Amino acid sequence: MNNWNQFLAAQGARPVPPEGAPDSTAPATASPIADFGQSLTVPQLQDGFVAAITDQGLIGLDGDDAASFLHGQLTNDVEHLNQEQVRLAGYCTPKGRLLASFLMWRNATTIYLQLPRAIQPAIQKRLQMFVLRAKAKLHDATADAANQVVLGVGGRQADAALSAWFPTLPATPFSKVEHAAGTLLRVADAFGSPRYQWLASAATARDAWPQLTARLAKGGNDAWQLAEIHAGIPQITAATQEQFVPQMVNFELLGGVNFKKGCYPGQEIVARSQYLGKLKRRTTLVSIAGVSVAAGGELFAVSDPDQPCGMVVNAAPNGAGGVDALVEMKLGAIEAGSSDAGAVRYGSAQGAAVQFLPMPYVLDALDL
C-alpha cells in the first residue's frame, strides 16, 4: 500500500488505484473520503480550506555537489538557497522553452524539487543524464517517510488551524519552517491570505486531518489547483512542455528567474527575451463557464478567428459550474478581452466566452 493509500485507509476509504488502472476496488456506496475529490468555490477558499494534494511528485538531490549541479541547470539561484527559503525555478531546453517548473527548498542534507508526478520520471532521468562526475545523487522522494502526505491549507482561517500543530508559522510567502510535525512551506498568498503546503508522514496526517477539517472546508486536488490559479502561479504539465519561455508564464515576476546567476540551458534565450522584449505575451487569469477546459487548450480572438491567440496553462473547476484558468496569450488579446467579454473564446472563435479576472499581481510593462 502506498503513502496515500495508508492515509485513505485510515479514514475508512478505498485505496487509490495506480494511474491508468481500472478502479475495481470502488465500494457500492460512497465513502466519506469522497470529500477529497470535491471542488471548492472561491468563497470557500477565501474563508479557509484544507485540500489533499495528490498530483505532485518530489525529486530529492543529495551530495556535496547537489547545489552547484542544480545551479547550472535551473533558472534560479540554488547555491544561495538557505534552509528558510522556498523558491520557484524552471528547467528549460537549450531553446529556452520550459520542460518543467519546480517549487524548490532544502534542508540540512537534501534539495527538493516538486513537480507534477506525471512528468517526474522523465525529468528526473534527464537531470540524471547531466550529473556526470558531480557528487550529486537524485532519488524519488515522494514516498520518503517525511513526505508521505501533502496537504494544502489556505484562507483566512489557515493560520489559526495550523497553529495547533506549528508553534511558529513561516512569516512571509516563499519561506518555510521545519518541525516535528513536518515541513511547512508558505507559498504565494491568494485572496489576501496565506497558503501553505504541509508535508507530513501518513501517521501525522491521520492525526491532523480531523482537526483541520473541523474548522476548514475540505477539498481535493482540484481545490488546491484552483487556489494556485488564483495566486497566479503557473505549473508546467505534460500538455504544455516546451510551449513557453519563462516570461510567457510570468515566471520572472514570481521570482523564478535569476538574471544574475551563471549559465543554464536556454539562458541566452531567456535573457534576450527579457532585455530585448520580443515576445509580447503574458499569462493572465480567466473564468470560462459551462465547458470542459484542459491545459494545452487553445483560445481564439473573435477579431482574428483563423489562428489561436493563446493557450491554457492550468485549469481547475471553480465549484460554480465553470472553470477558472491561467492562460498565456498575446498582450493585444488580453487587452481586448479585458474590455469586451466576448472578444476571446475557448476552443474556436465560436466557442465559450472567456471572462477576464483581476490578477493578484501586476503584469509589468515589459513588452512580452
CA angle, 172 as apex, 67 and 105 as ends, to 5°? 20
Give exposure, 136-171, as e/b (b: 16+ Cβ within 10 Å): bebeebbebeebbbbbbbbbebbbebbeebbeebbe
pLDDT for residue 208 is more than 70: yes
Q: Is the pLDDT of residue 29 over 60?
A: no
Checking if the pLDDT of 115 tops 70, the result is: yes
Q: Is residue 177 part of a domain?
A: yes
% the chain with pLDDT above 70: 88
Q: Of 244, 263, 278, which marks where a domain is finished?
A: 278
Confidence of residue 32 (pLDDT cuts 50, 70, 90): very low
pLDDT of 10 reads: 52
Check whether residue 346 and residue 270 sit in a common domain: no
Q: Confidence band (pLDDT; 50, 70, 90) for 36?
A: low
- In this structure, the answer to whether residues 268 and 300 fall within a common structural domain is no
pLDDT-derived band at 224, boundaries 50, 70, 90: very high
The answer to whether 328 and 282 have CB atoms below 8 angstroms apart is yes
In this prediction, residues 208-232 reach a mean pLDDT of: 95
The reply to whether 16 falls in a domain is no
Nearest-CA neighbor of 206 among 53, 9, 30? 9
Same domain, 50 and 132: yes
Q: Which helix (H) or strand (E) holds 182?
A: strand 182-190
Write down the pLDDT at residue 3.
Answer: 57
Does one domain contain both 194 and 50?
Answer: yes
Q: Decide: helix, strand or coil at residue 32.
A: helix
Same domain assignment for residues 288 and 305? yes
CATH code of residue 117: 3.30.1360.120
Measured CA distances, 192 to 48, 156, 230, 322 (Å): 12, 8, 11, 23
Question: Which of 252, 278, 304 is at the close of a domain?
Answer: 278
Query: Does residue 174 contact residue 87 with C-beta atoms inside 8 Å?
Result: yes
Examine residue 273 and state whether it is found in any structural domain, yes or no: yes
Question: What pLDDT was estimated at residue 280?
Answer: 85
Whether 155 and 216 have beta carbons less than 8 Å apart is answered as: yes
Provide CB contacts within 8 A for 340, sequence distance 6+: none
- Domain CATH for 327: 2.40.30.110
263 and 337 in a common domain = no
Residues sharing a CB contact under 8 Å with residue 113, sequence separation 6 or more, in sequence order = 58, 59, 60, 61, 70, 89, 102, 103, 104
* DSSP string computed for 288-308: EESS---TT-EEEETTBTTS-
**Other beta carbons less than 10 A from residue 211's beta carbon:** 13
Residues 146 and 256 occupy one common structural domain: yes
Q: Are 205 and 159 in contact (CB under 8 A)?
A: no
Cβ neighbours of residue 231 closer than 8 Å, sequence gap 6 or more: 187, 188, 189, 190, 195, 360
Distance CA(103)–CA(43), nearest Å, equals: 26
DSSP structural state of residue 14 = P
What pLDDT band is residue 346 in, cutting at 50, 70 and 90? very high
Same structural domain, 302 and 172: no
The pLDDT value given to residue 18: 41
Is 28 contained in some domain? Answer: no
The boundaries of the domain holding residue 216 are 35-278
3-class secondary-structure state, position 3? helix
Count of domains in the chain? Answer: 2
**Pick from 246, 278, 310: which residue ends a domain?**
278
Do 266 and 313 fall within a single domain? no
Q: How far apart are the C-alpha atoms of 228 and 269, rounded to whole Å?
A: 27
Helix, strand, or coil here: 90?
Answer: strand
Q: How does residue 262 score in pLDDT terms, banded at 50, 70 and 90?
A: confident
Maximum Cα–Cα distance across the chain: 60
Q: Reply yes or no on whether the pLDDT at 107 is more than 60.
A: yes
Please give the Cα distance from 130 to 252 (Å, whole number): 25
Looking at the structure, do residues 82 and 190 belong to the same domain, yes or no? yes
State pLDDT tens for residues 274-332.
777 666 899 999 999 988 999 999 999 999 999 999 999 999 999 999 999 999 999 99
Do both 189 and 257 map to the same domain? yes
More confident residue, 133 or 32: 133
